[in-house]
Amino acid sequence: MSRRIGVTQRCVDDDRTGERRWTLDSRWCGFLTACDVVAVPLPNDVDAAVHTAHELSLDGFLFTGGGDLDGDQPERDLTERTLLALAVQDGRPVLGVCRGMELIATALGGGLRPVAGHIGTRHTVTTEKGERVVNSYHDLAVDGLPAALDATAWCGDVVEAIRHRNAEVEGIMWHPEREPAPDPQDVLLVRRLFEGARR
């Protein structure tokens, strides 16, 4: 049975209509389908997101990328931090992608620092299982890894992936949804993380 995963969304202001919108890259649909995951978009409203998670018995959460932390998406920051605490408490898995990984790291006590040469490029990362080439769209990196997290991938001195020592929480700085076709390594990562989710 496919796992139901709550997926967080970017906040976007539409200047033409004056609307505050929550958006999701359409490419997530194809990638998560390849991972045998049913995506449930979550609102950037703490109470509504937690209610949805409980009512639908969501099996875990995906914190997507897009935008900076502590910037113009305060409702998203608060929602994701609340969902992270809920997930750790309930034993639900979480995957943070790019901004989502930054949120996990900072929520657990880490910091961020500027990095150059990581926007709109491809580079090699060293993982626990060897090297691979990934995309890169970030200008910040984790600075001071919290005690609860281990680094699992690097590009030079930049941490590119993390894993929680005591919870099913992981993060990656690349965007698996932005590849022309789902990368088997990313599909395996998602399946491994969420396949043991409660249900």
What pLDDT shows up at residue 197? 60
**Is 98 among the catalytic positions?**
yes
pLDDT digits (tens, 9 = 90+) for 184-196: 999 999 999 998 7
Instruction: Give 134-154 as a DSSP string.
Output: EEEE-SEEEES--TTEEEEEE
- Structural domains of the chain sorted by starting position, each given as residue range(s) with its CATH number in brackets: 3-195 (3.40.50.880)
pLDDT band per the 50, 70, 90 thresholds, residue 141: very high
Q: Distance of CA 12 to CAs 23, 72, 73, 103, Å?
A: 7, 9, 8, 18
Share of the chain above pLDDT 90, in %: 93
Summarised one tens digit per residue, pLDDT across range 153-179 is 999 999 999 999 999 999 999 999 999
Task: Please report the pLDDT score of residue 199 as a whole number.
Answer: 46
Q: 36-54 pLDDT, tens per residue? A: 999 999 999 999 999 999 9
Per-residue pLDDT at 198 exceeds 60: no
Gyration radius from the chain CA atoms = 16
Whether 118 is a known active-site residue: answer: no
pLDDT value at position 1? 74
Catalytic residue among 11, 35, 80, 98: 98
Q: Are 135 and 179 in contact (CB under 8 A)?
A: yes
* Cβ-based neighbours of 54, under 8 Å, separated by 6 or more: none
Is 195 an annotated catalytic residue? no
Per-residue pLDDT of 9-20, as tens digits, reads 999 999 999 999
Nearest to 37 by CA among 28, 45, 46: 28
Name the one residue in this structure whose structure tokens are 């090297």: 131
Q: Is the pLDDT of residue 139 over 80?
A: yes
pLDDT digits (tens, 9 = 90+) for 61-84: 999 999 989 889 999 999 999 999
